[in-house]
Amino acid sequence: MILNTIPNLVSGFFDFLDSPAWRAWPFNSGYGEQIGPAIARMAFVALIFAVIILFLRVLFGPKGIFRDKEMDREAAEEVRRERAELEERFAKGDISEMEFNTKMKSLKD
């Protein structure tokens, strides 16, 4: 049966990973090599993380394919409400013109 071969496959996979070439990849101690390959491995891992982050940003970031449109609507309403509140405080004289301009710039779309 196929279920009887699963333990053998798993132990074989872990034996493969325990080989000297893979034992501590990508963070091995660098026995018998220069600093270049170690830096190249670190750059490779950083590149993989960057690709994953960019992929998730495209999918779920602002205007992303799978982003919930309700979140964008709520954020726009919040900005409108904060702008109205800021204009009201400026009209009352609670804040200075410089502070008003600074906060309005931070609330731009």
* Dist. CA 62–CA 69, nearest whole Å: 10
CA distance 90 to 100: 7
Residue 56 located in a structural domain: no
Q: Is the pTM of this model over 0.75?
A: no
Count of structural domains, the chain: 1
Residue 78 falls inside a structural domain: yes
In degrees, to the nearest 5, what angle opens at C-alpha 54 toward C-alphas 49 and 58? 150
> Can you list the positions of beta strands (E) in the chain?
none
Tens digit of pLDDT for each residue in 5-20? Answer: 778 777 777 776 666 6
pLDDT value at position 50?
97
In-domain check, residue 84: yes
pLDDT in tens, 35-90: 777 788 889 999 999 999 999 999 988 878 888 888 778 888 988 998 888 889 88
Residue 61 lies in a domain: no
Is residue 28 predicted with pLDDT exceeding 70?
no
In a domain, 99, yes or no: yes
The answer to whether position 45 is within a domain reads: no
Residue 87 belongs to some domain of the structure: yes
User: Is 62 part of any domain?
Assistant: no
Residue numbers of the domain that contains 81:
68-109
